[in-house]
């Protein structure tokens, strides 16, 4: 998952439907292991997602468990002080990573960071390298919908994103579905939303 500031921007790739759901939920709710790993700069491990020792993701955890995740792990993807995002791993059953698995995840996060920088190096400023866009999900429809909601409500893009996320949470849907409804003009936001 790539993040800018503390906000998810989309994922570069996922390995299966559960991983894609985990990424979509983090993007929708702005919380989860990748978001926390990116913010803190440290690995975030939740070996018992259904029964955590300290609940920390009230919007993310229930649908992630329902979708098949028993444990989730986030590892920061960075080079020096440059924070790029986080590597997300999951287990379909509760349980910790072994020491070797944890060490492998740290190495893979470093490899991902170097690969991202290498691919992006020759791209013009303000653009994403074509190699990074292959199979990526940058949630372009959400960004388009945020612009439309911004105009509908006469608010900034940041507040429009908050409104989209709130609607997704309230209606128990992913933000991409709400956004598609806005773009297709099946949903219009009003000041009292």
* pLDDT recorded at residue 62: 96
Q: Quick check: 120 and 129 in contact, CB under 8 A?
A: yes
* pLDDT recorded at residue 12: 76
Instruction: Confirm whether 177 is domain-assigned.
Output: yes
Backbone angles phi, psi at 122, to 5 degrees: -95, 5
pLDDT tens string 133-175: 665 556 677 778 889 999 999 999 888 988 998 898 889 888 8
Count of structural domains within the chain: 2
3-state secondary structure 16-47: CHHHHHHHHHHHHHCCCHHHHHHHHCCCEEEC
Instruction: Confirm whether 192 is domain-assigned.
Output: no
Instruction: Confirm whether 73 is domain-assigned.
Output: yes
Instruction: Confirm whether 6 is domain-assigned.
Output: yes
Residue 66's domain is classified under what CATH number? 3.30.450
Same domain, 28 and 69: yes
State the residue range of the domain holding 95: 2-132
pLDDT score of 33 more than 90: yes
pTM of the model: 0.75
Same domain, 121 and 157: no
- Domain stop point among 96, 115, 132: 132
């Amino acid at each position: 998952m790539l993040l800018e500031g503390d906000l998810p921007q989309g994922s570069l790739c996922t390995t299966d439907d559960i991983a894609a759901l985990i990424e979509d939920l983090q993007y929708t709710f702005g919380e989860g292991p990748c978001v926390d790993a990116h913010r803190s700069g440290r690995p975030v491990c939740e070996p018992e997602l259904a029964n955590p020792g300290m609940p920390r993701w009230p919007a993310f955890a229930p649908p992630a468990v329902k979708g098949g995740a028993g444990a989730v792990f986030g590892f920061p993807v960075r080079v020096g002080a440059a924070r790029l995002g986080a590597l997300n791993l999951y287990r379909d059953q509760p349980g910790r990573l072994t020491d070797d698995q944890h060490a492998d995840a740290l190495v893979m996060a470093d490899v991902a960071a170097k690969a991202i920088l290498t691919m992006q190096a020759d791209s013009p400023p303000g653009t994403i390298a074509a190699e990074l866009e292959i199979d990526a999900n940058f949630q372009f429809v959400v960004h388009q919908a945020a612009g439309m909601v911004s105009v509908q409500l006469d608010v900034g893009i940041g507040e429009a994103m908050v409104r989209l996320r709130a609607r997704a949470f309230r209606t128990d849907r992913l933000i991409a579905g709400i956004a598609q409804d806005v773009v297709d003009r099946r949903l219009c936001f009003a000041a009292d939303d």
